[in-house]
Structure 1
Amino acid sequence: MKLVTFRNSAGQARPGVLLGGDRVFDIAAATARDGGGDVLGDMLAVIAAGRAGLERIARLMAGGETIALGEVTLLAPLPRPTQIRDCGNYEKHVRQAIAAAMQLRARATPDPEATLEKFRAAGLFEIPPVWFEQPLYYKGNPMSVVGPDADVIRPRAAKLMDYELELAVVIGGPARDLTPENALDAVFGYTIFNDFSARDLQSRETQFRFGPAKGKDFDTGNAIGPCIVTVDEIADPEALTMIARVNGDERVRTTSGGGQHSIAGTIAYISQDETLHPGDLIAMGTVGDGCGYESLTFLDDGDVVELEIEGIGVLRNRLVGHGN
Structure 2
Amino acid sequence: MKLVTFLTAAGQQHIGALGVDESTIVDFTASSNAAHFRDMLALIDGGPQALDAARAIREDGNAVVISVAGLKLLAPVPEPRQMRDCLCFEKHLKQAMASKLLRNDPNKPVHPDDVKIPDVWYKQPIYYKGNRFSVVGDGADVEWPSYSKILDYEMEFCIFTSKGGKNIARENARSHIFGYSIFNDISARDAQAEEMLGMLGPAKGKDFDTGNVIGPWLVTADEIPDPYNLTMTVRINGKERSRGNSGEMYHKFEDILAHVSKDETIRAGEFFGSGTVGNGCALEIGGYVEPGDVIELEVTGLGVLRNRILGPKQS
TM beyond 0.5: yes
Q: CA deviation at 1:315?
A: 0.3
Partner amino acid, structure 2, of 1:236: D
Equivalent residue, structure 2, for 1:97: 96
C-alpha deviations, 1:230-277, integer Å up to 9, x for none? 011001001111111111111112210122212211111111111111
Task: For 2:268 and 2:253, locate their aligned partners in 1 and report how far apart those are by CA, in whole Å.
Answer: 17
Number of aligned pairs?
308
Query: 1:39 deviation in Å?
Result: 4.8
Partner of 2:202: 212
- Deviation of 1:182 after TM superposition, in Å, equals 0.5
Contact 1:8 1:71 in 2 (8 A): no
User: 5 Å matches for 1:63-142?
Assistant: 63=61, 64-104=63-103, 106=104, 112-113=105-106, 125-142=115-132
The offset of 1:25, in angstroms, is 1.0
Q: What's the counterpart of residue 203 of structure 1?
A: 193
Q: Which amino acid aligns with 2:139?
A: D
Distance 1:88 1:245 in 2: 22
CA distance in structure 2 between the partners assigned to 1:195 and 1:113 by the alignment: 27
Q: State how far apart, in whole Å, the 1-side matches of 2:10 and 2:254 are.
A: 41
Aligned partner of 2:259 in structure 1 is 269
Q: Structure 2: which amino acid aligns with 1:7? A: L
Structure 1 stretches of 4+ with a deviation exceeding 3 A read none
Q: What does the per-residue CA deviation read over 1:108-149, in whole Å, with 9 as the maximum and x for residues that have no partner?
A: xxxx447x69xx8xxx95211100111000000000001001
Give how far 1:195 is off: 0.2
**1:322 CA displacement:** 4.3
2:290 to 284, 290, 300: 300
Mapped to 2, the partners of 1:15 and 1:194 lie a distance apart of 22
TM-superposed CA distance for 1:278, in Å, is 1.5
Distance 1:40 1:21 in 2: 20
Is structure 2 residue 155 aligned with structure 1 residue 165? yes
1:224-243 to 2 correspondences below 5 Å: 224-243=214-233
* 1:52 pairs with 2:49: yes
250-259 or 193-202: bigger deviation? 250-259
Gaps of 5+ in 1: 107-111
**3-state DSSP of counterpart to 2:171:** coil
Secondary structure of 2:174's counterpart equals helix
TM-score (norm 1): 0.91
The 1:113–1:309 alpha-carbon spacing in structure 2 relative to 1, beyond 3 Å, is closer
Partner of 1:317: 307
Task: Note if 1:30 corresponds to 2:31.
Answer: yes
Q: % of aligned pairs identical?
A: 45
1:178 is paired with a residue whose SS is coil
Deviation at 1:150, TM superposition (A): 0.5
Shift of 1:22: 0.5
Aligned to 1:176: 166
Q: CA deviation at 1:71?
A: 4.2
Q: Is the 8 A contact 1:173 1:186 kept in 2?
A: yes
Distance in 2 between residues matched to 1:91 and 1:160, nearest whole Å: 23
Return the alpha-carbon distance in structure 2 between the equivalents of residues 174 and 141 of structure 1. Answer: 20
Aligned equivalent of 2:275: 285
Question: For the Cα contact (< 8 Å) 2:81–2:269, is it kept in 1?
Answer: yes
